[in-house]
Amino acid sequence: MQSRSDHVPPSFKRLAETYQYAPAVRIGDQILISGIVGVDAEDGFLPIRSQTENSLQRSKPFSARWGRTLDDVAT
């Protein structure tokens, strides 16, 4: 059985507790990131390309926690 490690940073704690999920989970060598949305914090809207770029940028701390970069991301 592969080991599992969850990561919930302080900024996601309330959401994680409310919806019972961890935004990042490491299982063996894989890191699974979920629930990172790319909308703008001010009005909630961005063009799709900007949303994608924003969500990838927001996922950096999760992959960095386990020594990974965006170069390791598969979408």
Cα 58 to chain center, whole Å? Answer: 7
All structural domains of the chain, each given as residue ranges with its CATH number in brackets, are 4-72 (3.30.1330.40)
On the question of pLDDT at 48 being above 80, the answer is no
- State the pLDDT confidence band at 33, using cuts at 50, 70 and 90: confident
Classify residue 29 by its DSSP letter. Answer: T
Classified as helix, coil or strand, 11 is: helix
Gap between the terminal Cα atoms of the chain: 25
d(CA 59, CA 24): 9
Mean pLDDT, rounded, for 32-54: 75
Mean of pLDDT values over 15-36: 86
Q: Where are the beta strands (DSSP E) in the chain?
A: 4-7, 24-27, 30-33
Which pLDDT does position 67 carry in this prediction?
Answer: 86
How high is the pLDDT of residue 41? 64
